[in-house]
């Protein structure tokens, strides 16, 4: 059946490596282009916020990186589940590929948020804010998973521990997402809505609608790059890898 | 452009340091996210090629 064939192929490192080589330039190219366009548009071609002034322009990095950092964790946790349930080699490689990318994105969300917070709230950081602390926890989860990968001599044990940690940490994601609704928070409640009209001004929203897909594409490209490294590491003694290197 | 000239774009009415440091850090991290694994992969391929040479000679 065609669908099983697709799933089976997905588990083949050789097929995956070839697909990455084919698609990487397009995904990375388009993602970078969208991010650059949204950055230039947001920095120079939108009006400042009537309350926050020009510091609001940080939104075009802060929001996309935060959104993708959260989405990345879910994908990573799915890879963890696949690894544990089906013992799929490629799932472990995907987990190892996503962790550093997710960590970097969470770092950017935190840092840009802190920089934005200083002129807006007068403080870089507030411990009592639920969203800030749960995002920081997300960062530590990513780092912890990376550390687990490196901590074990036997990579299979490291893979398993990391997969379990990725699953345990998923409880943090809805907490981050709903924290601004559940607890009184300095952080702004959601202005982007799916079912109702968004409360953000249209002029401000437009570059964001370019930046978010751009960030998703860039994330996929970064994971592809990291995954290629994982595949090459795992498959370095195979014939097909030797042929690939000789090209 | 919203700003009247590049000087105003840089100054951002006083918020310049915040906005530009945020964008600079982001640019560096995003670039690293791409450049580091790309370099690593090239190193891996070179290493694999070196491993192949002895068997080619025989």
Per-domain residue ranges for chain A?
16-246
The β-bridge partners of A49 are A53
Q: B48: distance to nearest CA of chain A, Å?
A: 6
Average pLDDT, rounded, for chain A: 91
Q: What local confidence, expressed as pLDDT, does residue A9 receive?
A: 73
Model pTM score: 0.92
Smallest Cβ–Cβ distance between A245 and the set B14, B32, B48 belongs to B48
Q: Contact A108/B3, CB-based, under 8 Å?
A: no
Residue B20 lies in a domain: yes
A190 part of contact set with chain B, CB < 8 Å: no
B1 in any annotated domain:
no
pLDDT at B58: 47
Tell me which chain B residue has its CA closest to the CA of residue A65: B26
Q: What is the pLDDT of residues A127-147, one digit of tens each?
A: 888 889 999 999 999 999 999
Answer whether B10 touches A (CB < 8 Å).
no
pLDDT tens for A151-208 read 987 889 999 999 999 999 999 888 888 887 888 777 777 666 665 666 778 889 999 9
CA distance A186 to A136: 16
pLDDT score for B55: 59
A114-126 tens-digit pLDDT:
999 999 989 999 8
Residues in chain B, overall count:
58
Q: Which CATH code for domain A16-246?
A: 1.20.120
Q: Is the pLDDT of residue B56 over 60?
A: no
Domain holding B18, by residue range, is 6-57
A29 in B contact zone (CB under 8 Å): no
Whether residue A1 is predicted with pLDDT greater than 70 in this model: the reply is: no
Whether A38 and A208 have beta carbons less than 8 Å apart is answered as yes
Query: Mind listing the pLDDT tens digit for each residue in B2-53?
Result: 999 999 999 999 999 999 999 999 999 999 999 999 999 999 999 999 987 7
For chain B, the domain total comes to 1
Q: What ipTM goes with this model? A: 0.91
Residue B18 in domain: yes
Residue B19, domain member (yes or no)? yes
């Amino acid at each position: 059946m065609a669908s099983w064939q697709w799933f089976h192929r997905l588990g083949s490192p050789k097929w995956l490596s070839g697909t990455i080589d084919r698609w990487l330039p397009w995904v990375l190219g388009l993602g970078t282009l969208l991010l650059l366009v949204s950055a230039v548009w947001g920095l120079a071609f939108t009006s400042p916020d009537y309350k926050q002034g020009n510091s609001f322009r940080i939104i075009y990095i802060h929001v996309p990186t935060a959104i993708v950092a959260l989405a990345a964790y879910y994908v990573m946790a799915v890879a963890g589940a696949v690894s544990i349930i089906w013992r799929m080699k490629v799932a472990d490689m995907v987990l190892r590929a996503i962790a550093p990318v997710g960590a970097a994105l969470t770092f950017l969300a935190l840092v840009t948020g802190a920089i934005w917070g200083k002129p807006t709230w007068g403080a870089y950081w507030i411990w009592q804010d639920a969203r800030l602390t749960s995002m920081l926890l997300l960062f530590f989860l990513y780092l912890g998973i990376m550390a687990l990968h490196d901590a074990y001599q036997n990579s299979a044990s490291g893979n398993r521990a990391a997969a379990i940690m990725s699953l345990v940490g998923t409880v943090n994601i809805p907490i981050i997402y709903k924290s601004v609704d559940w607890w009184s928070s300095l952080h702004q409640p959601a202005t982007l809505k799916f079912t109702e009209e968004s409360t953000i001004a249209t002029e401000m929203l437009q570059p964001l609608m370019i930046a978010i897909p751009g960030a998703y594409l860039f994330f996929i490209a970064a994971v592809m790059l990291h995954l290629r490294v994982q595949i090459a590491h795992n498959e370095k003694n195979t014939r097909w890898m030797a042929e690939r290197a000789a090209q | 452009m919203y700003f009247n000239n590049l000087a105003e774009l840089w100054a951002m009415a006083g918020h310049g340091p915040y906005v530009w440091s945020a964008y600079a850090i982001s640019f560096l991290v995003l670039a690293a996210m791409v450049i580091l694994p790309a370099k690593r992969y090239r190193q891996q391929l070179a290493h694999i090629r070196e491993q192949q040479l002895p068997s080619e000679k025989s």
